[in-house]
Amino acid sequence: MEAIRWVCKRGVDGLLGLVPFLLFFTAVGKLLAWSEFEASVNTFALVPEILRAIAAVLVPAGEALTLVIFLLGYRVLANVLSLGIVSVFFCVTLWHWLANVPPECACMGVWAEYWQIDESASGVMRRDAYLMGFTLVAVVLASLRRRRRTLSKGGKDVVPEA
């Protein structure tokens, strides 16, 4: 029984680390292909120019920050931040796709050249949907594990009143 718990714990930890590590990896890819990434940000024509300029800097920084937060031990927080970042990407890409102004994506940066990743609007939304799903599952599993650990130590399963 202990072996099963150990495997489950490591599985949840691995799932929690998946998206923050992937986002860090993409941040590095964007920095290595900065001019292509910056040009792709400017194809999001429905977003005001000032917000595109801010996003070009904040996106790689936010993606890298998720791994830093994860490595500091705040695994659920890192995944909630990851979920927020990926959800914004998904919504903005969907907005452009529905308006028939599909943007170019250099989401993976330099890595896209090596793996021939589909960076079309539909490919990006599909990939983002998978990432959101992985992140949601990881957060739910981590929350369930924390809740079970609290209950096993004699804690109460109540939500404090506001």
Question: How many structural domains is the chain composed of?
Answer: 1
What sign does the CA torsion over 102, 96, 134, 39 have? positive
Q: What is the mean pLDDT of the chain?
A: 84
Whether 86 is covered by a domain: the verdict is yes
Q: Is the pLDDT of residue 149 over 50?
A: yes
Q: Is the pLDDT of residue 112 over 60?
A: yes
For residues 7 and 56, the model is more confident at 56
Whether 17 is covered by a domain: the verdict is yes
DSSP state of 160: P
pTM of the predicted model, to two decimals? Answer: 0.79
Question: What does the pLDDT average to over 149-157?
Answer: 60
What is the distance between the alpha carbons of residues 19 and 15, in angstroms, rounded to a whole number? 8
Distances (CA, A) of 117 to 45, 48, 123: 23, 27, 8
Whether 5 is covered by a domain: the verdict is no
DSSP state of 161: P
Whether 155 is covered by a domain: the verdict is no
Whether 68 is covered by a domain: the verdict is yes
Whether 160 is covered by a domain: the verdict is no
Full domain range(s) for residue 53? 11-143
The tokens of 143 are what? 């929350």
Whether 91 is covered by a domain: the verdict is yes
The tokens of 152 are what? 């096993």
Question: What does the pLDDT average to over 8-29?
Answer: 85
pLDDT at 158: 47
